[in-house]
Amino acid sequence: MESIQQELLKKLSNESSINEIQSYIKEVMQIRGFNKEKSSDKILLLVEEVGELAKAIRKNESNLGIDKTKEYNYSSIESEIADVFIVLLSICDILNINLFKAFLDKEEENIKRIIEMSKKTEFIIRLDSLEAAIKINKIAETENIIINYTIIVDSGLHRFGVSLKNLLAFAEEMKKLKHLKLEGLSSHPGHVYSSTCEADIHQYVLDECETLRKAKELLEKEGYHLKYITSGSTPTFEEAVKDSNINVYHPGNYVFLDSIQLSINKAKIKDCALTVLATIISHPSENLFICDAGAKCLGLDQGAHGNSSIIGYGTVINHPEIIVSSLSEEVGKLKIEGQTNLKVGDKIEIIPNHSCCLLYTSPSPRDGLLSPMPSSA
């Protein structure tokens, strides 16, 4: 059995397609007798493997706590991602799904949604991929419509966006796509979330504004008409919104705010509009309480890009002595540092670290309204 699997594995290489890998997994499942399992069993296995991946990520992130007595149980992130991929492909085999075709079909569906929205509204998409643009243009041509777009410019995040040195060449290639119309430039200075205090933010504002200024000048010099120069992030908003070039600003979670914004002094507690109402359900030891709001509700985000200014998993209003020290799916551990008047049955209000992580929005309990959001939603 092992030798057969090894021979099959030798047929794969760095150039192997998803179809070839899926075919390999199908044969391995047959050899091992796993192809008789139900899809429901495989789904449970997939959930288990995703859990193992989460553990590996926690081990890798220095600011996330793990059980040191079980550290040897944690595999590498690469290994756990591979396990998730293997189980996912085996589920595709059981359900007779070609994953590569499903991917292409989904991309086609997404593009068609763009087309339909463009027919009904003045819709603008953002692009930094010529390959994606060609696909969208092809369908737009079939539908005989024009899709408006802005070019995403990289202002320092290096996650998406065209660099300044490649911008003109990219714009020239995009110009050849006759069913796409350039409306302007966009950016997102998401790397600002690596800042740990308010004083750091000015440099990220400079990155944002200077990058867009240079990009605008570069294209306008070559005759391009740019109607919109757009950007946005909550931490940079207050200063960058004054920039003379930016005429559309989209500042993320500015309407809600959260503990990340508190940590860099871009908000006060009274400014935070989205909170979680939790109940104290246990008091297992002197300096430990348990509440009924866990990771499903508060999320495990402790700040992006290496941010070390976040302590715990949320800010408990009117209780500076409480640190939300760790989260399970449904409950949170509250560590007490100092004196507290907490008791079982009390309600506490928690500002999440990252408001975007919450699945539901609700009125703040401070408004005297009953929140419709379950405490462990």
The domain locations on the chain are 2-97, 105-249, 270-367
Q: Which residue has the higher pLDDT, 25 or 228?
A: 228
Confidence of residue 48 (pLDDT cuts 50, 70, 90): confident
pLDDT of 70 reads 53
Q: What is the pLDDT of residues 207-248, one digit of tens each?
A: 999 999 999 999 999 999 999 999 989 999 999 999 999 999
Confidence of residue 41 (pLDDT cuts 50, 70, 90): confident
In whole numbers, what is the pLDDT of the chain averaged over residues?
86
CATH architecture of the domain with residue range 105-249: Alpha-Beta Barrel (3.20)
The letter for the amino acid at 316 is V
Confidence of residue 57 (pLDDT cuts 50, 70, 90): confident
331 alpha-carbon distance from chain centroid: 23
270-367 placed in CATH 3.20.20.80 = no
User: Assign residue 324 a region: left if phi > 0, alpha if psi is -120 to 50, beta otherwise?
Assistant: beta
pLDDT of 188 reads 93
User: CATH class for domain 2-97?
Assistant: mainly alpha
Confidence of residue 374 (pLDDT cuts 50, 70, 90): very low
pLDDT of 368 reads 46
The CA–CA distances, whole Å, from 130 to 61, 151, 175, 336 equal 34, 10, 11, 53
Q: Residues 47-59: what's their mean pLDDT?
A: 82
pLDDT of 1 reads 55
Check whether 364 has a pLDDT greater than 70: no
User: Assign residue 174 a region: left if phi > 0, alpha if psi is -120 to 50, beta otherwise?
Assistant: alpha
Topology match between the domains 105-249 and 270-367: no
Check whether 177 has a pLDDT greater than 70: yes
pLDDT of 363 reads 44
pLDDT of 365 reads 45
Q: What is the pLDDT of residues 131-170, one digit of tens each?
A: 999 999 999 999 999 999 999 999 998 888 999 999 999 9
pLDDT of 33 reads 75
Residues above pLDDT 70, as percent of the chain: 89
